[in-house]
Structure 1
Amino acid sequence: MGRIYERIDENQRKWISNQSMFFVGTAPSGDSGHINVSPKGPIGSLRVLDDHTVAYLDIVGSGAETIAHLRDNGRICVMFCAFDGPPRILRLHGEGEYVRPGDDGFDDLLALGFAEPEIAESMRAFIVVHVTRIADSCGYGVPLMSYEGERPHMDLSTAKRIRVEGEGAMRVYERKHNSESIDGLPALSG
């Protein structure tokens, strides 16, 4: 049976830091639109900032659903699950916000030692989650899997884009591919 917790305690912090990855879920307001679930990692790109706040470094990708949904309604859930060791799932529900490079607070967050990509230009934002509900569950349905390492593809793709298109290529990519969600909600536009 799952439990609800008052805060993110030291045991949870340690357990979170031992996971290989995490998942982020968001949805637009109303009863239409697409729910989004994104795998995120490495785990070093996420930090527990205090008993009710986590943040992760968001990298430029093919879409910007999380940011669009945060702009729309702020709702977010971060989920961790154990792929090795004792079975467990931990969900952090809350209200999220994003902090872009150049925004107040971005450099302060960056200074906290998040795992960064090889190329700084690929950093899109920090997603900061003000956690309102902390709950765990058994995780019996999560398969046992072995961690083999991080994939190099993100850094290689970014390096190639900048080599071919020049400095600022990631901001151009964002304007072209991350300006709105798949449902037409504003993401990195306006």
Structure 2
Amino acid sequence: MGTQYDSLSDQHIKFIGQQHLFFSGSAGPEGKVNVSPKGMDSLRVLGPNRILWRNFTGSGNETAGHLAQNNRMTLMWCSFSKQPMILRAYGTARAIHPRDADWPELAANFPEELGMRQIYDMKIEMVQKSCGYAVPYFEHAGERDTLKHWAADKGSDSIPAYWAERNALTLDGAPTGIVEK
């Protein structure tokens, strides 16, 4: 069993900043549980109990749909380098869409990029650190630019149509909120 904390310490925040990858976990009250890997320049720690992360257009949109039903979220980082550690942040979150009033303020925390579809604002209720001794070593070879090229090829005018066609419902058929009612 790991060690629990009420908030992120400076050491935790430093560890998060060194990771190239994190995982998000969410679930509705019923149906499939979603775990997604996240990368790029998409996460900001705003304080010991608050994290923002921006979500880019993808093939699914489970997290937004889950948060509309049940606002629980877990984020996880694990070290693939010398220092073995797994760090999880548990809490509640809300999805902010480009049409929402607080989008400009929250989006200002990130460089502007085509394809940003939501920002998740997470309130941390508990942090857990565990050993990570069984996590293998991997070397970071760089960021993929595939999503940036996809968004540029699609263009800002076509991305909302993609959202309506491919991102409006979860795998279980729940609305994601990406399309305004």
Q: In 2, are the aligned partners of 1:74 and 1:97 still within 8 Å (CA)?
A: yes
Q: 1:18 aligns to what?
A: 18
Deviations 1:22-79 (A, max 9, x none): 000111103xx1111100012x310111111101011011111000000010111000
- 1:116 Cα deviation after fit: 4.6
The one-letter code of the counterpart of 2:13 is R
Alignment root-mean-square deviation, CA: 1.3
- 1:161 Cα deviation after fit: 1.6
CA distance in 2 between partners of 1:6 and 1:36 (Å) = 25
Q: 2:66 aligns to what?
A: 69
Give the counterpart of 2:45 among 26, 32, 48. 48
Q: In 2, are the aligned partners of 1:47 and 1:55 still within 8 Å (CA)?
A: yes
2:85 corresponds to 1:91: no
**Percent same amino acid at aligned positions?**
35
Structure 1 runs, 4 residues or longer, greater than 6 Å off: none
2:24 corresponds to 1:27: no
Q: In 1, are the aligned partners of 2:8 and 2:49 still within 8 Å (CA)?
A: yes
CA distance in 1 between partners of 2:105 and 2:9 (Å) = 23
Q: In 1, are the aligned partners of 2:6 and 2:125 still within 8 Å (CA)?
A: no
Give the secondary structure class of the aligned counterpart of 2:44: strand
Q: In 1, are the aligned partners of 2:92 and 2:124 still within 8 Å (CA)?
A: yes
CA distance in 1 between partners of 2:66 and 2:51 (Å) = 18
Q: 2:166 aligns to what?
A: 177
CA distance in 1 between partners of 2:119 and 2:93 (Å) = 10
Give the secondary structure class of the aligned counterpart of 2:20: coil
The one-letter code of the counterpart of 1:178 is N
The one-letter code of the counterpart of 1:181 is T
Give the counterpart of 1:103 among 88, 100, 123. 100
- 1:102 Cα deviation after fit: 2.9
TM-score of the pair, normalised by structure 1 = 0.90
Structure 1, unaligned stretches of length 5 or more? none
